[in-house]
Amino acid sequence: MPDPQPVEGPVVLVGCGRLGSAILEGWLLTQTVAASDLIILTPSQKPAAEAARAQGARVNPPLEVLAEAKVIVLAVKPALWRDVMTPLLPFLGDQAVILSVMAGVTAPTLAEGIGGWPIVRVMPTTGVSRGGGVASVWSADDRARALGRALFQRMAETVDLADEALMDAATAVAGSGAAYFYAFTEALARAGEAAGLDAGTADVLARATLRSAAESMGDDPLDALIGRIASPGGSTRAGLEAMARDGRLTAMLNDTVAAAVHRNREMGA
C-alpha cells in the first residue's frame, strides 16, 4: 500500500493541551500537514504551538481565515466545546469538516450544537507525538472518515469502527490502555521487590521487560507469543496460572474497561 499523502490545509487545531499538542507534534514530525497549512487556536501560550509558529503555522489569527478551513479539529475538554465552538461557527465555510478527539461527545450531540457540517470522531493516543500512536476513527460521512484517516494514519495504527457506539470501548482499550500497562509494570516491579529485589533493580527490569515485549510483539497471535515464553510445567506458566486463577485477570480487566466506558459516557453527557 502506498504511503498516505500529506493533507492539504488549512487545518485548524482548536485546543493545544496535552492531546492537542501531541497531535500537533505528530503532524509536523510525520509531515502529515505542512506548518504553513496549520492554524492553531489556543487561549494560552503552549510550547508545541510556539514551535509550530516558528515553522510557519498561524497561531490565533483573525477568525476570518477560518472561511477556507478544510477541517476543524476539536481538541478541547468535553465540558467546554460548546463555549469554544459557538464564536467560530459564523466563520466556517461549507466545505469544512468537524473532527472531534473528545472522549464521550457523540456525533448527534455535536451536530445539535454546530449544525450540518460533516463530523468525524477520532480517538488517538498521545503516542502520535512520536509517530507511533493508535487511533480509532468513526464517521457516517465517507469524506469525513477519509479525512480523519488521512490526518492520523502516518502517525498512528489506525482502525475504522463500524458503529459510533464502539468509540467508548475503543477509547477505554486504546486511549486509556497505556496507563493500564504502566500500572501493571509498576505492580510487577513492586512484586519483584517483595520477592527480594531492591526497588531500583525491580524498576529497571519491569520497564525493560515491557519495552522488550512491545518491540518483539509484531502481528503474531497473542497466544502464540505467550506460548513461546511459557513452556508447559515451567515457571512462566506457573505465574500465568496464578494470574488467571478463578478468572480474576479477565474479571479485573472487564471491570477496568467497563469503568472507563462509563466515565467516557458521563463526560459526554
Task: Please state the rounded mean pLDDT for residues 113-128.
Answer: 94
Write down the residue that cell numbers 524498576 correspond to: 203
With beta carbons less than 8 A apart as the criterion, state whether 118 and 97 touch: yes
Q: Is the pLDDT of residue 26 over 80?
A: yes
Q: What is the pLDDT of residues 56-85, one digit of tens each?
A: 999 999 999 999 999 999 999 999 999 999
75 and 16 Cβ atoms separated by less than 8 Å: yes
Q: What is the pLDDT of residues 231-256, one digit of tens each?
A: 899 999 999 999 999 999 999 999 99
* Residue 81: strand, helix, or coil: helix
Residues 8-24, mean pLDDT to the nearest whole number: 95
- Contact criterion met (CB below 8 Å) for 84 and 97: no
Stretch 96-121: mean pLDDT: 94
Instruction: Determine the Cα–Cα distance for residues 248 and 251; give it in Å rounded to an integer.
Output: 5
Q: Is the preceding omega at residue 10 within 30 degrees of 0, hence cis?
A: yes
Q: What is the pTM of this model?
A: 0.84
Where does the pLDDT of residue 191 fall: very low under 50, low under 70, confident under 90, or very high at 90 and above?
very high
Would you say 105 and 73 are in contact if contact means Cβ atoms under 8 Å apart?
Answer: no
Reported confidence tier of residue 267, pLDDT bands at 50, 70, 90: confident
**Grid cell for residue 43:** 487561549
What distances in angstroms separate CA 215 from CA 31, 76, 173, 208, one per listed residue?
24, 32, 19, 11
Asked whether 70 and 91 are in contact (CB, 8 A), the reply is: no
Q: How confident is the model at residue 147 (pLDDT cuts 50, 70, 90)?
A: very high
Comparing CA positions, the residue from 135, 167, 166, 168 lying closest to residue 152 is 135
Digit-coded pLDDT (tens) for 27-50: 999 999 999 999 999 999 999 999
The CA distance from 27 to 129, in Å, is 8
Nearest to 209 by CA among 245, 177, 184: 184
Answer whether residue 161 shows pLDDT above 60: yes
Mean of pLDDT over the chain:
93
**What are the tens digits of pLDDT across the range 162-186?**
999 999 899 889 888 889 999 999 9
Residues contributing to the annotated binding site for NADP(+): 42, 75-78
- Domain 177-268: give its CATH architecture: Orthogonal Bundle (1.10)
Structure confidence at residue 31 (pLDDT): 95
Whole-angstrom Cα distance, residue 266 to residue 26? Answer: 29
Instruction: Please tell us whether the domain made up of 11-163 is placed in CATH 3.40.50.2300.
Output: no
- Report the alpha-carbon distance of residue 121 to residue 37 in Å, rounded: 21
Residue range 184-205: mean pLDDT, rounded:
96
Annotated binding-site positions: 42, 75-78
Q: Report, as an integer, the average pLDDT of 128-151.
A: 96
- Indicate the domain borders of the chain: 11-163, 177-268
Largest CA-CA distance found in the chain, in angstroms, rounded = 69
pLDDT tens for residues 126-137?
999 999 999 999
CA separation for the pair 61, 52 (Å, rounded)? 14
pLDDT given at position 1: 46
